[in-house]
Amino acid sequence: MLHIANTNFESELSATKPIGVAALIQSHPIFMQLQFLPLLYAKPDDTVAVTHAPSSFFHRWRLLDEKQFDEEAVESWGASPSVADWAKKKKLSLTMPKWEVVKQVNSKAFSFNESPKLPGAELIHSLAELEQWGQKIKGPKVVKTCFGVSGKGHLFLPSPHMKKFAEQEFSQGRPLIAEPWVERKLDFSTQWMIQPDQKIDYLGATVCVNDQRGQYNESRVGDLPLIFGEYFPFLEIHKEKVFPILQKMASMGYFGNVGIDVMIWGNDQLHPVVEINARKTMGWVALEISKRRFPKQTIALSYLTKSNLTNLLPDAIVQKDGKLLHFSRKLVVEIIADIHK
């Protein structure tokens, strides 16, 4: 198997014209570093296709622009026309759902319509609707694009940038999700796999640590009663509520990884679906690392700008001119507790 980590998956969802897989990966240093994630979860005989050579100590990688590959099939981070086009040119097989289905199930409009909503939340289709909603909903509030990720694609209101932010989405025929900004008590995620035969497998759960603006900082995996604390009973309630949504996704023709973000807010109320990510996620990576390397510990997987811990990813890549491009972040694991004494 040949892995490609197109972690900028959402960029392709919102793109108005085709973009090559190498250009997508190279669009930001974070994507260039995260393309090495499969080195942490690929099987021993698998290979990872990347845009640049890592600076040191990594193996089992090949450059995307090589002419021939010994592997027969490709597995991507998320379904992707650019990866499919690349695989076809390299005469490699790639099985993925129809792109229109992938776009539909990844849109926040889909998860909004298919799940319970926060009080006062609305799907907004015009600037006039947005202005009316903003006057009606008091207190902190936020509008989200359909394909934003990890706290990006959010705009907190009131804001002088509201008109530009909204019209950019409306011009593409995409609505905005408008919600009150509530006090979060706990963020967590569940990871699932929808098989091509529509069988649904539950893979596990992680507790997410986000910053005040909803951007991802850390995933905690292992002893679920420990990391969930008093909120552990909410996990089963969430699973029951989202299973019909997963069944609908399967009936629509989607198959592959699914990560569902969840929160407990206010007076300990469950919001069972914050968003649906129909792709691999950092929560899924945390589960894989836990299973393979730390099966008897509870761990925290973090992506930080400052840490004294060992980086699980390359610190730099070798550019075409031989110079090193250094990355500012580290992907690190910290052991929180032992599960089995």
Cα(274)–Cα(262) distance, integer angstroms: 5
pLDDT at 154: 80
- Note the pLDDT tens digit of each residue in 92-126: 999 999 999 999 999 999 999 999 999 999 999 99
Q: What is the CA radius of gyration of the chain?
A: 20
pLDDT at 106: 95
Given a contact cutoff of 8 angstroms between Cβ atoms, the answer to whether 71 and 92 are in contact is yes
SS3 of residue 74 by DSSP: strand
Q: What is residue 229's DSSP assignment?
A: G
Order of strands, sheet of 330-338, starting from the edge strand that comes earlier in the sequence? 269-277, 256-265, 184-194, 200-210, 216-221, 297-304, 330-338
pLDDT at 147: 84
Domains of the chain: 2-96 (no CATH), 100-108+183-282 (3.30.470.20), 119-180 (3.30.1490.20)
One-character DSSP codes across 135-158: HHS-SSEEEE-TT--TTTTEEEES
- Note the pLDDT tens digit of each residue in 12-54: 988 878 889 999 999 999 999 999 999 999 999 999 999 999 9
Q: How many CB atoms lie within 10 A of CB 265?
A: 18
**pTM, 2 dp:** 0.93
Cα(120)–Cα(100) distance, integer angstroms: 29
pLDDT at 83: 96
Residues near 86 by beta carbon (within 8 Å), at least 6 away in sequence: 4, 20, 21, 64
pLDDT at 210: 78
pLDDT at 311: 94
Alpha-carbon dihedral 222, 228, 230, 236, rounded to 10 degrees: -90
Can you give the pLDDT of all 341 residues of the chain as single tens digits? Answer: 999 999 998 889 888 788 899 999 999 999 999 999 999 999 999 999 999 999 876 778 999 999 999 889 999 999 999 999 999 999 999 999 999 999 999 999 999 999 999 999 999 999 999 999 999 999 899 999 988 765 567 888 988 898 999 998 899 899 999 999 999 999 999 999 999 999 999 999 999 987 766 677 899 999 999 999 999 999 999 999 999 999 999 999 999 999 999 999 999 999 999 999 999 999 999 999 999 999 999 999 999 888 889 999 999 999 888 889 999 999 999 999 987 54
Q: How far is CA 164 from the centre of its chain?
A: 26
pLDDT at 152: 64
Mode of pairing for the β-strands spanning 324-326 and 316-318: antiparallel
Question: What are the Cα distances from residue 13, in Å, to 43, 46, 99, 137, 212?
Answer: 28, 27, 9, 30, 26
Q: How many CB atoms lie within 10 A of CB 194?
A: 22
One-character DSSP codes across 291-319: HHH-TTEEEEEEEESS-SSPPSS-SEEE-
pLDDT at 16: 79
